[in-house]
Amino acid sequence: MNNNEMFQFIEESFEENYELLRLEGGHSLSPQVKKLALEQVKNYWKKLRHVAENVSDTEVRLTLPQQSTPSGRPYTIQGVVDVVKEDDRTVMYDIKTQDADFVRSNKKDYEGQLNIYAHVWQSVREQELDGTSILATGETQGLRRAKQRSFLTNNDNLLEEALEEWEPEVPIDIADERIEGYLESFGVVVDKIEEHCFEAPSIEKINSKILGNKTFAVHVCRNCDARFSCDTYKEYAFNSSRVSNDFLSFYEDYGTEQERVEQIETTLEEEV
Ligand code: SF4
């Protein structure tokens, strides 16, 4: 399949998947967001063609049964990954919707999961593994800015340069000696879920920096659907001068101007 045929295949598959998700989930995208999403998928093909062409096993279901939490609850770990075998090397990939900058800055959050999947692959399946990586599908800030600048100046080179620099694959180290610790932390989370401990993190946590100069509140909470009923986020928001001077602005915070326009366009399109 040449590049043009592949792009046509991507467009058709994208449309098919979008329609399916729209009918199943009842959510639509505005034409502009849909166009950007399709571009992002095509950029992935351009950037990760070597990975896509060498995938030997897709959607591999990994299961680690008979685990026990610190409180003695039995549980099973299950995950789905893709595996690539290329030039005598076998690499396991897990796809995440966060952007690559975020994943790189928070590698620790992914190490446990990927190490456990690698452990299952190597011990239960008894197959060698040379590495694991996250494929981060979110758009980085650099890429977003380059797209805007490229559009405003009509200069495609800006986007091409940014695409060149963009690296969506983030390798994660495998450390067999840490498996026990990772499994224990999984068990702690299982206990918390079963005991219905769902309290939000502390105000210190959401004020902490997790990506360059961005705090958890800006990078995560601003995109969280639960933020209007979250006590920690409320405390954070009411500490700002804007909300403390005008408390209604807290409930009017539906994202950026562009996001609001997109939401209105999508809703109007639905009703036509
Ligand atoms: S707003 Fe959402 S992400 Fe942020 S602390 Fe509250 S529940 Fe967690």
- Which burial class, exposed, middle or buried, applies to 102 when counting CB atoms under 10 A from its CB (0-12, 13-18, 19+)? buried
- Nearest ligand 1 atom to the CA of 216 is 4
Q: What tokens appear for 80 in the block? A: 């789905």
Name the phi and psi angles at 239, rounded to 5. -80, -15
Amino acid of residue 195: E
Residue range 141-171, pLDDT digits in tens: 888 888 888 888 888 888 889 888 999 999 9
Pocket test for ligand 1, best of 225, 229, 233, 239 (most atoms within 8 A of CB): 233
C-alpha 100 – ligand 1 centre gap (Å): 21
Q: What pLDDT does 114 receive?
A: 92
Residue range 78-110, pLDDT digits in tens: 988 888 887 788 999 999 988 898 899 888 889
The binding-site residues of ligand 1, defined as CB within 6 angstroms of any ligand atom, are: 200-201, 206, 220-221, 224, 226-227, 230, 232-233
Q: Which residues pair with 131 in a beta bridge?
A: 91
- Alpha-helix runs per DSSP H in the chain: 3-25, 31-53, 100-105, 108-119, 141-153, 156-165, 179-194, 203-207, 216-219, 231-238, 241-245, 248-251, 257-271
What's this model's pTM, rounded to 2 decimal places?
0.73
Residue range 23-77, pLDDT digits in tens: 988 878 888 888 888 988 998 888 888 888 888 888 888 899 999 999 999 999 9
Q: What pLDDT does 241 receive?
A: 72
- Which burial class, exposed, middle or buried, applies to 105 when counting CB atoms under 10 A from its CB (0-12, 13-18, 19+)? middle
**pLDDT above 50 for 132:** yes
Is the distance from CB of 71 to CB of 189 less than 8 angstroms?
A: no
Q: What tokens appear for 167 in the block? A: 């690296």
3-class state of residue 9 by DSSP: helix
Q: What tokens appear for 110 in the block? A: 């992914």
Residue range 238-266, pLDDT digits in tens: 887 766 667 666 666 665 555 555 555 55
3-class state of residue 105 by DSSP: helix
Pocket test for ligand 1, best of 207, 224, 239 (most atoms within 8 A of CB): 224
Q: Which residue lies with its CA nearest to atom 8 of ligand 1?
A: 200
